[in-house]
Amino acid sequence: MSTGLAFSYESRAQRVVFGAGTARTDLAAEIERLGCARVLVVAAHAERELAEELTSVLPVVATFLDVRQHVPLETATAARALAGTSGADSVLSIGGGSTTGTAKAIAMTTGLPIIAVPTTYAGSEATAVWGLTDAGRKSTGTDPAVLPRTVIYDPELTLSLPADLTVASGLNAMAHCVDSLWAPNANPMSSAMAVAGIRGLRQALPEVRRDGSNLDARAAALSAAYLAAVAFTTAGSGLHHKICHVLGGTYDLPHAPTHAVVLPYVAAFNVPSAPSAAALLADALGVPDPVSGLVELYASLGAPGSLRELGLSSDDLPEAARLVAEAAPASNPRPVGRDDAALILRHAWAGDRPGSDQLEAHR
């Protein structure tokens, strides 16, 4: 029989409420809709005031504020303990990816339903992927129990996101889209969402960079970030995410800026071997050459340009290359040996202009 187009795809049940002001107007009703009445709030210290304001009328039984990047196991243990002692019947996360990640760590072991109110473009709220860090190594996995049952997207909550975090978080969403085009379970559904997400982000991000108080642009970016996250969760982690997990989990690099630095280098590496993904990417970016298109978009946004400036030591590059080569998906459109990984990382560390010619020339 023919090989041809073949894939499997699983959609998961999730309710999304999107609109300016919805975190204030819809949260109580959505918690009630889930039949919940004892809410454990998870929010980072920096968002404590926002969380208090949004939850003042809700049946809150406890609040967990000790959110940390990449969800260290100790953080997860403490949050799970609080869920137990408080008798919570639901977890309400208000914040970015690390906050949602902490709520997921609770859901993993308790099965409590999560209501997520994102304040960034991280997208964790739309995926069944969890991540935990233990002894300097990040583990990730997929578990339907950690997928938030309800997500309330209120673009007003993103208005105060500073310009640098806006860009880094938006480009994290862009990485979800682009990496899903060649991820192990890429399929026509994930690619449809990725293309729409890329188009939305490349139009909205320059606007929100220019004027962070532009609510329409904020809404467009947030909705594109949702498309990005759903594309990612159905397609799985591609090479880009495997690299970022190594860099974030092992070397404690900041999550979103790392994604912003790495993506153009992964695109430069994969594009020559992935013609149909390259065509979708070029079309979504509205440019003839997708790698140049990404590089120019990233530069215009003032994205961080190198792993060096994020604090990675060049001494770590050989070990990182080994870990990346081990973690790279077997289905990547181009095989990733340790030399390939070293090449990608070296360019990304130095901040060289990413281009497929250059990556080829250095081989």
Q: Which is nearer to a copy of itself, 18 or 282 (CB)?
A: 18
Candidates 3, 56, 111, 363: give the one binding a copy of itself (CB under 8 A): 3
Q: Which is nearer to a copy of itself, 163 or 189 (CB)?
A: 189
Q: Which is nearer to a copy of itself, 64 or 226 (CB)?
A: 226
Q: Which is nearer to a copy of itself, 231 or 267 (CB)?
A: 231
**Cβ-based neighbour number of residue 4 at 10 Å:** 5
Give the interface size with a copy of itself as a residue count (CB under 8 A).
43
CA 165 to chain centre: 13
54 binds a copy of itself, rule: CB under 8 A = no
d(CA 149, CA 107): 11
Task: Decide: helix, strand or coil at residue 67.
Answer: coil
119 binds a copy of itself, rule: CB under 8 A = no
Backbone angles phi, psi at 60, to 5 degrees: -85, 130
11 binds a copy of itself, rule: CB under 8 A = yes
Residue pointed to by tokens 């499997």: 8
Stretch of 19-27, 49-57, 74-82, 205-213 contacting a copy of itself, by CB under 8 A: 19-27
Candidates 100, 133, 187, 258: give the one binding a copy of itself (CB under 8 A): 187
Candidates 118, 197, 257, 354: give the one binding a copy of itself (CB under 8 A): 197
The side-by-side arrangement of strands in the sheet containing 39-42 is: 60-64, 39-42, 90-95, 114-118, 150-153
* Cβ at position 15, least distance to a copy of itself in Å: 5
Candidates 226, 232, 269, 349: give the one binding a copy of itself (CB under 8 A): 226
Candidates 84, 184, 188, 311: give the one binding a copy of itself (CB under 8 A): 188
Candidates 12, 45, 353, 362: give the one binding a copy of itself (CB under 8 A): 12
Candidates 34, 163, 189, 317: give the one binding a copy of itself (CB under 8 A): 189
Stretch of 71-79, 190-198, 268-276, 329-337 contacting a copy of itself, by CB under 8 A: 190-198
* Cβ at position 24, least distance to a copy of itself in Å: 8
Q: Which is nearer to a copy of itself, 1 or 361 (CB)?
A: 1
d(CA 200, CA 241): 21
279 binds a copy of itself, rule: CB under 8 A = no
CA 26 to chain centre: 25
* Cβ at position 145, least distance to a copy of itself in Å: 13
Interface with a copy of itself in residues 150-179 (CB under 8 A): 155-156
205 binds a copy of itself, rule: CB under 8 A = no
Distances (CA, A) of 278 to 254, 269, 362: 28, 11, 22
SS (H, E, C) 103-153: HHHHHHHHCCCEEEEECCCCCHHHCCEEEEEECCEEEEEECHHHCCCEEEE
Nearest to 94 by CA among 55, 38, 128: 55
21 binds a copy of itself, rule: CB under 8 A = yes
Task: Count Cα neighbours of 68 within 13 Å in the Cβ-side half-sphere.
Answer: 17
* Cβ at position 320, least distance to a copy of itself in Å: 35
d(CA 87, CA 235): 36
d(CA 14, CA 352): 41
Please, are residues 114 and 40 in contact by the beta-carbon 8 Å criterion?
A: no
Helix (H) or strand (E) holding 93: strand 90-95
213 binds a copy of itself, rule: CB under 8 A = no
Which tokens hold the place of 281? Answer: 């990417």
Binding residues (CB under 8 A) for a copy of itself: these are: 1-22, 155-156, 187-189, 191-193, 195-197, 200, 215-216, 219-220, 223-224, 226-227, 230
